[in-house]
Chain A
């Protein structure tokens, strides 16, 4: 099948691009076919974010978003930022010591489109998808893009994976062969560490001259809390305990609508200690009194995890290549200084839509029956002139400074740098996250406390709440380049860290009959966070798309 534009991923950037493309086509009275494929079973099923949302890009796309019923119902009302000293003590930071980019209330953030909202990114995407369909976009959830079609160095579309292939690779009853979706231009909006985006970055050497990309893993839960301890719009951030000094990250806790609180931990994947388990750090973190008081008496209703592309401008690859663009977190447009990525991802989608429409709709292209496939250099100009790019530029050193000087030192650098309007020298972090792990023997094994079943939980009952599922009888979508490596190299060297960095219990080391260790992959548990693809020290795990519709089914995440 052929379209003018194919978009991979129904997230904030992909859907924003789709809407903007159609708006332009409708305004110009031109026919335009735009197709969005989404591997989740429905739009929003795989979306996970904090989120405190800055509606700037949304307002550009739909100035009347409020009348259209966008799910922005809970304005941020109060900021609290903490440094946790240990399992009991905490220091509340006065506003002046908090980098300004992290403020969500007060000052000029109280009205209009600069107001911040506590939202569910999944629900924002569900709403964006409705708007897109209303504008004439074709959205296909449950269809996973397997790879890009590249001909003569030009991206010509994507290949949708087969459905109904057995674990043995043979077609089953009801098998549906994959198909080609061809397009003049293809936008890759897969989110952090998209599996096609990763290959495009390699094939077109898009990261040349950039710092290696940096990632975090975000774990999140949704809680129902008693009405009397619910304060809609309250926004808490913090760092420190339980992460050690060489491990960077921070937590968030937001009071959303409907007596719900979201809580999460973002841990940088540049950590060194292979005994660390982001999942267990998150679980024990919730016992700190600063967080526990918001959660106690409540009931956990959802759990999920997702990697975050957080390297910022220093790591942002070239976003163009012949026939397409990388947008949103697939490229890495998140502004870590604000702990926000939705608005910049959406903006990248809007800019992409404008560049693409211009290329398709200009008179020359129409006259020639143009097939597309150009490299959209106009995108780069527009993008670099955008407010989103300016934001990223201003905060380019934010993350690297924390990596280099630690949470407190880096934080201080950032406060000062922001006061000086970004005049301090740029800081770089040039080591890739996967290369940071040190041998397990250099650390003591961490004994995490047992979950209490009230505030903290075990991994499998958590995965249960992600509603994840994969058809059992299909090839494993977590590919090992060297099947022996986990037991041969990783087990002695790093005590096979996959067991711990995976937030869904996909990887296990079990004993076989003879008492020999075996590496087991429970791919059905996978929540599509991509952490393994990022953190595996030898880059031995490649995440590919499973059969469409598989993976988590997040409600309200």
Chain B
């Protein structure tokens, strides 16, 4: 039978706010897993290590076949991409830099929230919940994020499988491990 889905109401939104407060208090976290990004006609796979300290992000991506490596790091106002060209490339934000330099659509600053099952600050978000009152689907800024699996051995639960789409753009993330301080 299809998994139970609950629309957002006072109870589920209350649970989500409590969840967000608890997770936002953990300002240092790290995930390790695999990511696939595609724009509908072609796509790329990579191993991903994502370290976050407050608003500082540090993403390391490694392609499986060639072992090609990229590193994307910065904060809310700056982004640096290493490994795409001989010299490092800079931009004001990660998503714009990736789109410009390697034609990848990766909303990094929002994913920082979405990957933990949180609403990103700013535009309104629409949520649908699962039976344990955890986000099953989150829609925000034109993206639809599906939470297909969670690590339920921790409280609050953190996602294990995050599939995001926006039109023909697609970001799929399988998280092998979380470290949270």
Do A and B belong to a common assembly? no
